[in-house]
């Protein structure tokens, strides 16, 4: 509706009124949206590194931490679905990159505080990862020294090599085609070592099951120890190892008796009156395999 005043003023005034009237519900809706959910963000940072970097991650947020490698001399960190509850800090000191994710305050919204990280690193990188929540740590094709600690989440390693320390409370370890030396400890988490090329392994759990299904390298030392869980090793015709299996109150299930000979080095093993034990050698006894449980079962199987 026009007035008899200047048309330039009248139309805009009406239009403005219309806009105000039409727009206010939208404005009100937008304002309340800010209050009802936190915005979803993505943060990406690039760090140039000169030589084998050390990447440390302290993650208090839920969510997966995934580390993969590439051939560039660069570390790239992508944090996905960061909410305003999660504080993410990244810092570089020469070749040391530190990522810290903290939870700012309590929230009752499900999924809030969930932040996943994708980190791409040079093939040769040292890693120190500590997670205090449920998220999984996943590492693929990285070579270096690693210390991985998870409170409740699992750890998955694929084609990883180096000196690897894994410590969990309840999380389990899945280790596929890993090489180098590995140390695993857990309370209730189990571990599976599939197609490994490990020259040294020490794995222990209070109640988790431990499985080693792969080759025993000729100079390797393998120690698997579980309090109450099952300890199982599977070997093949070409393996050569000395075996010592000992359990306090559990059982030894030797499904490969035909392949186990008396110790090839002529060493006398003093048997303990407190434990059930089995010793012997497969082929020339070049590697050392030590299996131990308190009350769990020890199983020795030959792969078909």
Partner 1 sequence: MARNRPAETKPLTEADAIRLAQKGDAAAFEHLYGLHSRRVYALCLRMVANPADAEDLAQEAFLQLFRKIATFRGESAFSTWLHRMTVNVVLMRLRKKTLPAVSLEETMDPDDENSGPKRDVGAPDLRLSGAVDRVNIERCIEQLPPGYKTVFVLHDVQGYEHNEIAGIMECSVGNSKSQLHKARTRLREYLQEELRSQARQARQDQQDQPAAKAVTKSNE
Partner 2 sequence: MKCTELERFVEQEGLDLLGDAQRKHLAECAACQALVADFAALTSAARELPAEVDPPPQLWLALRAQLEVEKIIRTAPDPAASSWADSLAGFFRLHALQFGFAAAVLVAAAIVGWPPEQHPVPDATPYAETAAVLTREVAHVQTVAKTAASPVSQSLRANLQVVDNFIATCERRVQQEPQDEVAHEYLTGAYQQKAEILAAMMDTPVGEN
Residues within the interface to partner 1 (CB under 8 A) = 54, 126, 145, 147, 163, 165, 179-181, 197, 199-200, 217-221, 265, 286, 288
Instruction: Report the residue from 75, 173, 292, 298 that binds partner 2 according to the rule CB under 8 A.
Output: 292
For the chain, what is the total number of helices (H) and then of strands (E)? Answer: 1, 24
Among partner 1, partner 2, none, the one that 228 touches (CB under a kind-dependent 5 to 8 A) is partner 2
Sole window of 68-76, 106-114, 154-162, 216-224 interacting with partner 2 (rule: CB under 8 A):
106-114
d(CA 259, CA 32): 73
Say which DSSP state 259 is in: G
At 108, which helix (H) or strand (E)?
Answer: none
Positions in 183-212 near partner 2 (CB under 8 A): 187-188, 204, 206-207
Instruction: Report the residue from 24, 249, 255, 271 that binds partner 2 according to the rule CB under 8 A.
Output: 249
Q: Which is nearer to partner 2, 25 or 266 (CB)?
A: 266
Q: How far is the CB of 221 from partner 1 (least distance, A)?
A: 6
Q: How far is the CB of 188 from partner 2 (least distance, A)?
A: 5
Sign of CA dihedral 285, 288, 292, 296: negative
* CB-based contact 154:170 (threshold 8 Å): no
In total, the chain counts a number of residues equal to 304
Instruction: Report the residue from 54, 164, 210, 287 that binds partner 2 according to the rule CB under 8 A.
Output: 54
d(CA 165, CA 152): 16
**Strand 197-205 and strand 143-150: pairing?**
unpaired
Sole window of 9-17, 215-223, 279-287, 288-296 interacting with partner 2 (rule: CB under 8 A):
288-296
Among partner 2, partner 1, none, the one that 199 touches (CB under a kind-dependent 5 to 8 A) is partner 1
d(CA 126, CA 142): 9
- The gap from C-alpha 175 to its chain's centroid, in whole angstroms, comes to 10
At 31, which helix (H) or strand (E)?
Answer: helix 7-36
In the complex, the residues that contact partner 2 under the rule CB under 8 A are 54, 60, 62, 93-96, 103, 106-107, 112-113, 132-134, 151-152, 169-170, 187-188, 204, 206-207, 227-228, 246, 248-249, 272, 274-275, 292, 294-295
């Amino acid at each position: 509706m026009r007035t008899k005043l200047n048309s330039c003023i009248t139309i805009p005034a009406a239009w403005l009124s219309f806009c105000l009237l039409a727009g206010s519900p939208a404005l009100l809706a937008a304002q309340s949206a800010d209050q009802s959910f936190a915005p979803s963000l993505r943060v990406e940072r690039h760090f140039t590194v000169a030589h084998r970097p050390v990447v440390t991650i302290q993650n208090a947020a839920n969510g997966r931490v995934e580390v993969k490698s590439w051939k560039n001399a660069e570390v790239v960190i992508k944090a996905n679905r960061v909410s305003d509850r999660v504080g993410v800090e990244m810092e570089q000191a020469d070749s040391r990159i530190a990522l810290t994710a903290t939870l700012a305050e309590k929230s009752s919204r499900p999924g809030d505080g969930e932040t996943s990280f994708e980190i791409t690193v040079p093939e040769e990188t040292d890693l120190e990862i500590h997670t205090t929540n449920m998220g999984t740590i996943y590492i693929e094709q990285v070579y270096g020294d690693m210390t991985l600690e998870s409170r409740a989440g699992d750890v998955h390693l694929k084609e990883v090599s180096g000196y690897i320390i894994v410590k969990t409370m309840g999380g389990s370890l899945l280790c596929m085609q890993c090489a180098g030396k590995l140390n695993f400890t857990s309370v209730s988490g189990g571990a599976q070592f599939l197609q490994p090329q490990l020259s040294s392994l020490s794995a222990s759990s209070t109640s988790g099951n431990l499985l080693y299904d792969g080759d025993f390298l000729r100079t390797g030392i393998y120690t698997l120890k579980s309090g109450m869980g099952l300890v199982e090793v599977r070997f093949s015709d070409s393996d050569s190892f000395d075996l010592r299996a000992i359990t306090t109150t559990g059982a030894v299930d030797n499904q490969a008796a035909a392949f186990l000979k008396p110790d090839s080095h002529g060493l006398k093993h003093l048997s303990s009156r407190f434990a059930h034990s089995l010793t012997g050698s497969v082929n020339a006894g070049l590697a050392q395999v030590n299996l131990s449980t308190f009350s769990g079962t020890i199983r020795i199987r030959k792969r078909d």
